[in-house]
Amino acid sequence: MNRLPNIQSLPTDATKKPVTITPDFVIGSSDVVLMAGPCSVESYAQARAAAEAVARVGGRVLRGGAFKPRTSPDSFQGLGEQGLEILRDVADEFGLLVVTEALAVEHVPLVARYADIIQLGSRNMQHYPLLWAVGELHKPVLLKRGFMSTIDEWLKAAEHISSRGNTNIILCERGIRTFETATRNTLDTNAIALARQLSPYPVLADPSHATGRADLVLPAARAALAAGADGLLVEFHPDPSNALSDGQQSLPLSMLPHFVAEMSKITAVFNRSFT
Ligand code: PEP
Ligand code: MN
């Protein structure tokens, strides 16, 4: 039976389990974190430009896909291991950490060698062998919500990972499919707030895939932080109009300083910092 909300007191968050990525970088504390970079790693120069821009605003984590889950098999599928090498190189040059997706069970050992955080994509949220494979490691895992999955299914997917021993889990709300077609997906801010109540894991939001439109990323990101997100995963590209994937939802790297300044205004309201 559903528990009625207790209107005498505000909902309290579940006992939190911050995820330590490095001794000086923890996700799920009062510091709200930024993970930014291109949808796909396309070239050394492109990834390096992203790393430089992320580091310059004080960001700690570079994102970028090397193995891409694309709706069409004719679309760019990523650079594979070469993309992982590029990501690691440019991240190391600027002292950044790397989050990147493992698309298949057989990629997990390879991705784990290069990444600091292994991303599991929306389309793979219920790919149980993949959840078990990352569950066997100690590497932090960023688990995207399936775009057709309920909050309960998402949290149970996280339990599949923890059931194998790995509790270094970061949840990420990335928008769900609704009847609305004006945007690629619909950012479920309810899910951000509720996952923080029901689950011990930090909850991030991805306003890029949640909206599919560069002009909506900033307002959606503001909403996500107001709903309590512990961080953001955002697509930035040096030249969005020529991106090989998701250019329409990518912000130009030149907007990073403004983006960070705007996010800091929101987190300050909640006595949290940003980056
Ligand atoms: C991505 O982050 O590039 C990505 C493919 O995201 P999702 O799995 O949420 O579609
Ligand atoms: Mn993308």
Contacts of 256 (CB under 8 A, 6+ apart): 36, 53, 54, 56, 57, 59, 236
Angle (CA) 190 2 163, round 5°: 75
Condensed to tens digits (0 to 9), the pLDDT of residues 184-231 reads 999 999 999 999 999 999 999 999 999 999 999 999 999 999 999 999
Q: Is the pLDDT of residue 10 over 70?
A: no
Architecture of domain 30-274: Alpha-Beta Barrel (3.20)
Counting from 1 in the atom list of ligand 1, the atom nearest the Cα of 208 is: 2
| Half-sphere exposure in the Cβ direction for 44 (13 Å, CA) | 4
**Position in ligand 1 atom list of the atom nearest CA 119:** 2
Least Cα distance to 201 among 153, 169, 173 occurs for: 169
What would the pLDDT profile of 109-148 be if each residue is shown by its tens digit? 999 999 999 999 999 999 999 999 999 999 999 999 999 9
Tell me if 122 CB under 6 Å of ligand 1.
yes
For 92-114, how does the pLDDT look when each residue is reduced to its tens digit (9 = 90+)?
999 999 999 999 999 999 999 99
How does the average pLDDT of the chain come out, rounded?
96
Contact 146 CB / ligand 1 (< 6 Å): no
Q: What pLDDT, in 10s, does the model give residues 53-69?
A: 999 999 999 999 999 99
Q: How remote is the CA of residue 36 from the centroid of ligand 1, in Å?
A: 13
Best residue among 206, 234, 244 to mutate for probing ligand 1, ranked by most atoms within 8 Å of CB: 206
Nearest partner of 217 among 241, 202, 235, judged by Cα: 235
Residue 47 has pLDDT above 80, yes or no: yes
Q: Atom of ligand 1 at shortest distance to CA of 68?
A: 5
Question: What phi, psi does 66 have (nearest 5°)?
Answer: -110, -30
User: What is the number of the ligand closest to the CA of 146?
Assistant: 1
Q: 127 in ligand 1 pocket by Cβ < 6 Å?
A: no
User: Would you state the pLDDT for residue 182?
Assistant: 98
Q: Is 209 in the pocket of ligand 1 (CB under 6 A)?
A: yes
Q: Indicate if ligand 1 lies below 6 Å from the C-beta of 121.
A: yes
Q: How confident is the model at residue 16 (pLDDT cuts 50, 70, 90)?
A: confident
The DSSP secondary-structure symbol of 56 reads H
Question: What is the predicted pLDDT for the residue at 249?
Answer: 98
Which pair of structure tokens corresponds to residue 89? 């190189």
pTM of the model: 0.96
Could you tell me what percent of the chain has a pLDDT over 90? 94
Residue spans of the domains in the chain: they are 30-274
Q: What's residue 7's pLDDT?
A: 59
Q: What is the pLDDT of residues 138-191, one digit of tens each?
A: 999 999 999 999 999 999 999 999 999 999 999 999 999 999 999 999 999 999
pLDDT at 15: 84
Concatenated DSSP letters of 148-217: T--HHHHHHHHHHHHTTT---EEEEE--B--S--SSSSB--HHHHHHHHHH-SS-EEE-HHHHH--HHHH
Bridge partners (DSSP) listed for residue 26: 20
For residue 240, the ligand closest to its alpha carbon is 2
Residues, CB within 5 angstroms of ligand 2 (ion) = 39, 246
Exposure of 201 in the CB half-sphere (CA atoms within 13 A): 25
Percent of the chain's residues with pLDDT above 70: 96
Cβ partners under 8 Å of residue 173, min gap 6:
145, 187, 188, 191, 192, 195, 203, 204, 205, 206, 210, 224, 229
Q: Give, in degrees to the nearest 5, the angle at Cα 188 between 232 and 259.
A: 30
What's the confidence (pLDDT) of residue 4? 66
State how far the Cα of 24 lies from the Cα of 171, in Å rounded to an integer. 20
Asked whether residue 13 carries a pLDDT value surpassing 80, the answer given is no
Atom of ligand 1 at shortest range from CA of 69: 5
d(CA 61, CA 33): 8
Q: Say yes or no: CB of residue 69 within 6 Å of ligand 1.
A: yes
Q: Ligand 1 mean position to 185 CA, how many Å?
A: 12
212 in contact with ligand 1, CB cutoff 6 A: no
> What separation in Å is there between the alpha carbon of 5 and the centre of ligand 2?
36
User: Which has more confidence, 13 or 260?
Assistant: 260
